[in-house]
Amino acid sequence: MGYGTNEFLYLKGGVVENRPEFYSEATDKRRKNFRVMLSRYLSSPLPDMKVWIHLNGEVYHSVTDEYGYFSSWIDPIIDYEPGWHSVNFQIRKPDSDEIICETEGEFLIVGEQAEFGTISDIDDTILVSHATQLFKKLRLILTKNAKTRLPFEGVANFYQQLKANGNPFFYVSSSEWNLYEFLQDFFNVRKIPKGPFLLQEYKSGFRDLIFSGGGSHQHKQDKIKRLMKLFPHLKFILIGDSGQRDTEIYREALVNYPDRILAVYIRKIGKKDKFDQETIQEFKKRKVPLLLLENTQDAIEHARKLGVITYY
């Protein structure tokens, strides 16, 4: 899912081979879930593929990099209404008009009526993942699917309230692009607001599956900076968890954009039950709420008092 404004539109995708279609059901057996998840990490990215982008009668071109990604910044020739719109992607044979592969994508236009945006992590913030406990994490990844994985209680309700009046959501996560369809399916099933996924680079191999969601997480900061620059009129609520580096990343965002952060909500994961004093003082100095929360209802209560939601 792309995103942008009527001045700048960002579209991104990937081209891979040996990747089957994935259709999950709540009744699927563990063996099937294991096979499907494994296949997500065994398909191969294709570099140097030319991609045709068809948008409102215009054709744009992009080429995949060494990791199979393509991306394009486009200056739309028409003004789009705020909301979701379609875009067509094609791959053709070299020196031919024959289409090898074609798919429809979507992009989100953020309008001036949006009051604020929300940037949220996914693993252990929305989706119960046990990201810091390897064996529990692997059991979930390898034996369950998008229909049987669980969100934290109250997340869908909270996010739907934040979404009111066309407020956009962006999901910045260290999950890999391999999990894109899984996340789309999960969010749809659990009625969590639709929004672009800004994920970590595509990975390939069983070892990468085992250590899914790892890495430095610096890419999250880079993606937050892109959103801040693309939507200079928006302030943001940041939501994450204490299991990895979300607090540190959001603190850096606060330092870089001190007038753009409305509040930071951190879900308590594991034994970490407080913030370090330096972080607390930074947020106090900026007068931005920073909350470590046991449950989603506490976030709803605070957001209501803050005035960013108006009902339960």
pLDDT at 204: 64
Pairing of strands 2-4, 99-109: parallel
Q: How many residues does the chain have?
A: 312
Residue 271 backbone zone (phi > 0: left; psi -120 to 50: alpha; other: beta) = alpha
At residue 136, what are phi and psi to the nearest 5 degrees? -65, -40
- Tokens at 184, concatenated: 């789309």
- Tokens at 61, concatenated: 């071109």
Compute how many other C-beta atoms are within 10 angstroms of the C-beta atom of residue 288.
19
Q: For 185-209, how does the pLDDT look when each residue is reduced to its tens digit (9 = 90+)?
A: 999 999 999 999 999 876 665 555 5
For the chain, which residues score pLDDT lower than 50?
none
> Helices in 16-169 by DSSP H: which ranges?
30-40, 134-143, 155-163
Residue 98 backbone zone (phi > 0: left; psi -120 to 50: alpha; other: beta) = beta
pLDDT at 240: 94
190-188-297-264 Cα dihedral, nearest 10 degrees: 140
pLDDT at 243: 83
User: What is the spatial distance between Cα 305 and Cα 312, in angstroms, rounded to a whole number?
Assistant: 12
pLDDT at 155: 96
Q: For 216-229, how does the pLDDT look when each residue is reduced to its tens digit (9 = 90+)?
A: 567 899 999 999 99
pLDDT at 26: 86
